[in-house]
Amino acid sequence: MVEILSLLAAAVLAVLISTRLGLGSVLGYLAAGALIGPFGLGLISDAENMRHIGEFGVVFLLFMIGIEMKPQRLLVMRHLVFGLGGLQVVLSGIALAALTHWALALSYQTALVVGFGLALSSTAFGVQLLSDRNEMTSHYGRNSFAILLFQDLAVVPLLVLLPLMALSEITVTASMGLAVLQAVAIIAGVLLIGRFAIGPVMHVIAKIGNNDTFVAMALLLVLGFAWVMDYVGLSLAMGAFIAGVLLADSQYRHQIEADMLPFRGLLLGLFFMSVGMSLNPEPGLENAGL
């Protein structure tokens, strides 16, 4: 009970102060988490468990964005996602890798890992900041989201390349090719099922007239898609985004949005607070020069 009260009180006060100062809600949540976390007042001891629960907030955030984005609109954005997003990841990754290789005398393999790691951004942070300022529909808001979307997609090939860089020569094995084909088949199956099965199922659930069952079905769809995408190597958030896009044309879209909104707000706040809880100042002070 003390932990729950601490979370709620810290969130309300910190976000209120941060918003009044014009800093946005994200910094407020981070500060609140740092204050009550194990490296602060110690009111919360299990920050890792809080983070796992809070990650569902990111899932619901990406679902809410997806449900606002019809497939036709996403198709129009493909040049921004793969063109602008691809340029950002490649150019930033190479530039940062070159900088770390030259400045810290790292091997080129280590420098590439550091460079491309730093070239990626947090979709949760970026989207939340844009949403707080009502800038998601602006020109630079759409461009920013396209880049964030490509970064989520780029995680998979980067993780595949990571162990290969440790080998003297890179070879693509049959098992790796089979894994890629399996992932593509699962994603294609999910998209087909989502395209043709979700509508009739939601219609049957809606006819029952039980709101609790409708909410449970909506949660099942979001978390189910997220789990499947996570299983094939993509992120939970990417799966939730795809679920949202598939439901964007649904006649029940507005009802689903209204049902999911409370989950998104509370869990996303918990996610940012859990990040704040993990901020340990000691390593930073001990390695201030680096």
Report DSSP letters for 132-167, one per residue: HTT-TTSHHHHHHHHHHHHHHHHHHHHHHHHHHTTS
Structure confidence at residue 182 as a pLDDT band (50, 70, 90): low
Structure confidence at residue 128 as a pLDDT band (50, 70, 90): confident
Average pLDDT over residues 190-195: 72
Per-residue CA distances from 1 to 6, 8, 43 (Å):
8, 11, 11
Task: Write down the mean pLDDT value for the chain.
Answer: 81
Give pLDDT, residue 284. Answer: 85
